[in-house]
Amino acid sequence: VRIIDISVPLGPNVPIWPGSRGIRLHWSKRLDAWYECNNTYLNCDTHVGTHVDAPSHFLVNGATIEQLPLEVLIGTAVVAYLPKVGVIAARDLEDLELAPDTERLLLRTRNSELWAAEITEFREDYVALTSDAAQWIVRQGIRLIGVDYLSVGTYGDRVATHRILLEAGVIVVEGLNLYDVQAQEYEFICLPLKLVGAEGAPARAILIRRDL
Ligand SMILES: [Zn+2]
Protein backbone atom coordinates (compact mmCIF):
# COMPACT_ATOMS: atom_id res chain seq x y z
CA VAL A 1 0.00 0.00 0.00
CA ARG A 2 1.36 3.39 -0.96
CA ILE A 3 -0.03 6.53 0.68
CA ILE A 4 0.66 9.87 -0.97
CA ASP A 5 0.05 12.99 1.09
CA ILE A 6 -1.23 15.62 -1.35
CA SER A 7 -1.90 18.28 1.30
CA VAL A 8 0.53 21.17 1.75
CA PRO A 9 2.30 22.03 5.02
CA LEU A 10 0.41 24.73 6.95
CA GLY A 11 2.86 27.20 8.40
CA PRO A 12 3.91 30.83 8.14
CA ASN A 13 5.49 30.20 4.70
CA VAL A 14 2.42 28.83 2.94
CA PRO A 15 1.46 31.10 0.00
CA ILE A 16 -1.79 32.92 0.77
CA TRP A 17 -4.45 34.74 -1.18
CA PRO A 18 -3.89 38.56 -1.34
CA GLY A 19 -5.38 40.10 1.81
CA SER A 20 -5.56 36.80 3.69
CA ARG A 21 -4.11 36.60 7.18
CA GLY A 22 -2.93 33.06 6.50
CA ILE A 23 -2.25 30.93 9.52
CA ARG A 24 -0.62 31.56 12.89
CA LEU A 25 0.00 29.37 15.90
CA HIS A 26 0.27 31.22 19.20
CA TRP A 27 1.65 29.70 22.37
CA SER A 28 -0.77 29.97 25.25
CA LYS A 29 1.21 27.73 27.58
CA ARG A 30 4.80 26.57 27.55
CA LEU A 31 5.89 23.42 29.28
CA ASP A 32 8.23 24.62 31.99
CA ALA A 33 8.63 24.64 35.73
CA TRP A 34 5.13 26.18 36.17
CA TYR A 35 3.07 24.50 33.40
CA GLU A 36 2.55 20.78 32.90
CA CYS A 37 1.97 21.01 29.11
CA ASN A 38 2.48 22.99 25.91
CA ASN A 39 -0.63 24.53 24.36
CA THR A 40 -1.13 26.53 21.15
CA TYR A 41 -3.99 28.57 19.69
CA LEU A 42 -4.73 28.46 15.99
CA ASN A 43 -5.59 31.64 14.08
CA CYS A 44 -6.39 30.66 10.54
CA ASP A 45 -8.07 31.69 7.29
CA THR A 46 -10.36 28.76 6.46
CA HIS A 47 -9.06 28.89 2.85
CA VAL A 48 -5.41 28.46 3.76
CA GLY A 49 -3.34 25.76 2.03
CA THR A 50 -5.20 22.57 1.08
CA HIS A 51 -8.87 23.26 1.77
CA VAL A 52 -12.46 22.63 0.74
CA ASP A 53 -14.92 25.33 -0.35
CA ALA A 54 -18.49 24.94 0.91
CA PRO A 55 -21.38 26.22 -1.25
CA SER A 56 -21.91 29.05 1.29
CA HIS A 57 -18.53 30.49 0.23
CA PHE A 58 -20.28 31.99 -2.82
CA LEU A 59 -24.02 31.23 -2.43
CA VAL A 60 -26.62 32.83 -0.18
CA ASN A 61 -28.07 30.04 2.02
CA GLY A 62 -25.56 27.57 0.58
CA ALA A 63 -24.57 24.48 2.58
CA THR A 64 -21.80 24.93 5.13
CA ILE A 65 -18.69 22.83 5.44
CA GLU A 66 -19.89 20.35 8.08
CA GLN A 67 -22.88 19.48 5.85
CA LEU A 68 -20.82 18.21 2.91
CA PRO A 69 -21.32 14.45 2.22
CA LEU A 70 -18.37 12.26 3.18
CA GLU A 71 -19.45 9.82 0.41
CA VAL A 72 -18.22 12.39 -2.09
CA LEU A 73 -15.08 13.37 -0.16
CA ILE A 74 -13.94 9.72 -0.07
CA GLY A 75 -13.73 7.37 -3.05
CA THR A 76 -12.06 6.61 -6.35
CA ALA A 77 -10.45 9.65 -8.01
CA VAL A 78 -8.72 10.19 -11.33
CA VAL A 79 -5.57 12.30 -11.36
CA ALA A 80 -5.09 13.94 -14.77
CA TYR A 81 -1.93 15.75 -15.86
CA LEU A 82 -2.19 18.91 -17.94
CA PRO A 83 1.45 20.06 -18.13
CA LYS A 84 1.11 22.49 -21.00
CA VAL A 85 -2.04 24.50 -20.34
CA GLY A 86 -2.14 28.06 -18.98
CA VAL A 87 -5.90 27.89 -18.35
CA ILE A 88 -8.09 24.81 -18.26
CA ALA A 89 -10.94 25.08 -20.75
CA ALA A 90 -13.75 22.59 -21.47
CA ARG A 91 -11.83 21.36 -24.53
CA ASP A 92 -8.82 20.41 -22.36
CA LEU A 93 -11.08 18.31 -20.12
CA GLU A 94 -12.82 16.77 -23.13
CA ASP A 95 -9.40 15.71 -24.47
CA LEU A 96 -8.73 13.69 -21.29
CA GLU A 97 -11.29 11.13 -22.52
CA LEU A 98 -12.36 10.31 -18.98
CA ALA A 99 -14.50 7.27 -18.28
CA PRO A 100 -18.14 8.42 -18.24
CA ASP A 101 -18.56 7.26 -14.62
CA THR A 102 -15.71 9.47 -13.30
CA GLU A 103 -16.93 11.04 -10.05
CA ARG A 104 -13.79 12.69 -8.70
CA LEU A 105 -11.21 14.49 -10.81
CA LEU A 106 -7.94 15.99 -9.57
CA LEU A 107 -6.03 18.19 -12.01
CA ARG A 108 -2.27 18.32 -11.87
CA THR A 109 -0.79 21.33 -13.71
CA ARG A 110 2.41 23.34 -13.59
CA ASN A 111 1.05 24.83 -10.36
CA SER A 112 2.30 21.78 -8.45
CA GLU A 113 5.86 22.75 -9.32
CA LEU A 114 5.34 25.88 -7.19
CA TRP A 115 4.69 23.68 -4.14
CA ALA A 116 7.71 21.52 -4.92
CA ALA A 117 9.91 24.63 -5.23
CA GLU A 118 8.44 25.97 -1.96
CA ILE A 119 7.49 29.30 -3.55
CA THR A 120 5.95 31.35 -0.76
CA GLU A 121 4.69 34.39 -2.71
CA PHE A 122 1.17 34.29 -4.16
CA ARG A 123 1.15 33.91 -7.97
CA GLU A 124 -1.64 35.50 -10.02
CA ASP A 125 -0.72 33.48 -13.12
CA TYR A 126 -1.74 30.13 -11.61
CA VAL A 127 -3.55 27.60 -13.83
CA ALA A 128 -7.28 27.19 -13.13
CA LEU A 129 -10.63 26.44 -14.75
CA THR A 130 -12.57 28.74 -17.05
CA SER A 131 -16.32 28.95 -16.48
CA ASP A 132 -16.96 26.77 -19.55
CA ALA A 133 -14.76 24.10 -17.96
CA ALA A 134 -16.91 24.35 -14.82
CA GLN A 135 -20.04 23.85 -16.95
CA TRP A 136 -18.43 20.82 -18.59
CA ILE A 137 -17.73 19.29 -15.17
CA VAL A 138 -21.34 19.75 -14.13
CA ARG A 139 -22.64 18.26 -17.41
CA GLN A 140 -20.29 15.30 -17.03
CA GLY A 141 -21.74 14.46 -13.59
CA ILE A 142 -18.41 14.89 -11.81
CA ARG A 143 -19.09 15.36 -8.07
CA LEU A 144 -15.69 16.54 -6.83
CA ILE A 145 -13.02 18.62 -8.54
CA GLY A 146 -9.55 19.18 -7.07
CA VAL A 147 -7.01 21.75 -8.23
CA ASP A 148 -3.36 22.33 -7.38
CA TYR A 149 -3.47 26.02 -6.47
CA LEU A 150 -5.54 28.24 -4.22
CA SER A 151 -8.58 28.78 -6.47
CA VAL A 152 -10.57 26.58 -8.86
CA GLY A 153 -11.22 29.66 -11.02
CA THR A 154 -8.67 31.81 -12.80
CA TYR A 155 -7.53 35.00 -11.06
CA GLY A 156 -9.51 37.15 -13.50
CA ASP A 157 -12.72 35.05 -13.57
CA ARG A 158 -12.99 33.06 -10.39
CA VAL A 159 -16.49 34.03 -9.27
CA ALA A 160 -18.38 32.50 -12.21
CA THR A 161 -16.35 29.27 -12.07
CA HIS A 162 -16.99 28.86 -8.32
CA ARG A 163 -20.72 29.66 -8.61
CA ILE A 164 -21.35 27.18 -11.43
CA LEU A 165 -19.67 24.35 -9.49
CA LEU A 166 -21.05 25.15 -6.06
CA GLU A 167 -24.61 25.71 -7.32
CA ALA A 168 -24.50 22.23 -8.89
CA GLY A 169 -23.28 20.69 -5.62
CA VAL A 170 -19.82 19.86 -6.96
CA ILE A 171 -17.33 19.75 -4.09
CA VAL A 172 -14.30 21.98 -4.71
CA VAL A 173 -10.92 21.04 -3.21
CA GLU A 174 -8.16 23.62 -3.62
CA GLY A 175 -4.47 23.85 -2.80
CA LEU A 176 -3.52 20.22 -3.54
CA ASN A 177 0.12 19.37 -4.16
CA LEU A 178 0.14 16.88 -7.05
CA TYR A 179 3.83 17.23 -7.84
CA ASP A 180 5.25 13.89 -8.98
CA VAL A 181 1.82 12.23 -8.75
CA GLN A 182 1.22 9.93 -11.71
CA ALA A 183 -1.89 10.38 -13.80
CA GLN A 184 -4.00 7.36 -12.90
CA GLU A 185 -6.76 6.20 -10.55
CA TYR A 186 -6.38 6.27 -6.78
CA GLU A 187 -8.43 5.93 -3.67
CA PHE A 188 -8.88 9.49 -2.43
CA ILE A 189 -9.63 10.68 1.08
CA CYS A 190 -10.19 14.34 1.88
CA LEU A 191 -11.43 15.36 5.30
CA PRO A 192 -12.13 19.07 5.91
CA LEU A 193 -12.34 20.10 9.57
CA LYS A 194 -15.91 19.91 10.89
CA LEU A 195 -16.22 23.66 11.49
CA VAL A 196 -19.88 24.36 12.23
CA GLY A 197 -21.32 27.04 9.94
CA ALA A 198 -18.04 27.71 8.11
CA GLU A 199 -17.87 28.39 4.35
CA GLY A 200 -14.63 26.48 3.99
CA ALA A 201 -12.11 24.50 5.99
CA PRO A 202 -8.53 23.27 5.79
CA ALA A 203 -8.33 19.58 4.93
CA ARG A 204 -5.92 16.67 4.93
CA ALA A 205 -6.05 14.96 1.55
CA ILE A 206 -4.36 11.69 0.60
CA LEU A 207 -4.18 9.24 -2.29
CA ILE A 208 -3.85 5.49 -1.81
CA ARG A 209 -2.61 2.84 -4.26
CA ARG A 210 -2.95 -0.79 -3.22
CA ASP A 211 -1.81 -2.70 -6.32
CA LEU A 212 1.98 -2.40 -5.96
ZN1 LIG B 1 -11.33 28.33 -1.29
Average pLDDT score over residue span 152-180: 97
Q: How sure is the predictor about 14, in pLDDT bands with cuts at 50, 70 and 90? A: very high
Q: What is the pLDDT of residue 211?
A: 78
Average pLDDT score over residue span 117-124: 97
Ligand 1 center–CA 48 separation, angstroms: 8
Q: Is pLDDT of 119 > 70?
A: yes
Residues assigned a catalytic role: 57
**Mean of all residue pLDDT scores within the chain:** 97
Q: Is pLDDT of 2 > 70?
A: yes
Ligand 1 center–CA 83 separation, angstroms: 23
53, 172 Cβ separation under 8 angstroms: yes
- The DSSP secondary-structure symbol of 143 reads -
Q: What is the pLDDT of residue 212?
A: 62
Q: What is the pLDDT of residue 33?
A: 87
Rounded CA-CA distance 37/87 in Å is 49
Quickly count: other Cβ atoms within 10 Å of residue 111's Cβ.
23
Rounded CA-CA distance 104/94 in Å is 15
Q: What is the pLDDT of residue 130?
A: 97
The strand ranges marked E within the chain are 2-5, 23-29, 39-44, 51-53, 74-81, 104-108, 144-147, 171-174, 185-192, 200-209
Rounded CA-CA distance 16/24 in Å is 12
Q: How sure is the predictor about 172, in pLDDT bands with cuts at 50, 70 and 90? A: very high
Q: Is pLDDT of 67 > 80?
A: yes
Ligand 1 center–CA 149 separation, angstroms: 10
Q: What is the pLDDT of residues 198-212, one digit of tens each?
A: 999 999 999 999 976
Find residue 146's DSSP bridge partners.
106, 173
Q: What is the pLDDT of residues 72-81, one digit of tens each?
A: 999 999 999 9
- Name the nearest CA neighbour of 151 among 162, 163, 164: 162
**Helix H or strand E segment including 140:** helix 131-140
Q: Is pLDDT of 96 > 80?
A: yes
Ligand 1 center–CA 165 separation, angstroms: 12
Q: Is pLDDT of 191 > 90?
A: yes
